Amino acid sequence: MTTNDELMEWIKRPTWHDDAACLGAPVDLWFPQAGETSTEAKRICWNECPVRQECLDEALDGHEVYYGIRGGMTGRERQVQLRLRAKATGEQR
């Protein structure tokens, strides 16, 4: 049975989510714990995902920079990307 909250989340999802290589994969693969590697998640993103850039853009635009693999990058890598983006556009961070 689908709850209203689940239905609303599905409605808000961008259509590109349906094409993501991570769809159906274990969620914990994209959220490695301390000492675990992100290599497999990054490999899937970079080598198999046709919507990797959309995923990365969504993470950067929403400032989801601290945890997990999004668009083939770790949180630290996304923080660097945000700083580079801000520098390129003259924004203060």
Question: What's the whole-number average pLDDT of the chain?
Answer: 86
Q: Which of the pair, 1 or 89, is modelled with greater confidence?
A: 89
User: How far apart are the C-alpha atoms of 92 and 77, rounded to whole Å?
Assistant: 19
Q: Is the pLDDT of residue 11 over 80?
A: no
pTM of the model: 0.77
Q: Under DSSP, is residue 43 helix (H, G, I), strand (E, B) or coil?
A: helix
Mean pLDDT of 42-71: 90
Is the four-CA dihedral 36, 38, 44, 49 of positive or negative sign?
Answer: positive
Tally the residues of the chain: 93
Residues 6+ apart with CB under 8 A from 11: none
* Angle of helix 39-48 versus helix 52-61 axis, rounded to 10: 120
pLDDT, tens digit (0-9, with 9 covering 90-100), for 12-55 = 778 888 999 999 899 899 999 889 999 999 999 999 999 999 99
The DSSP letter of residue 48 is H
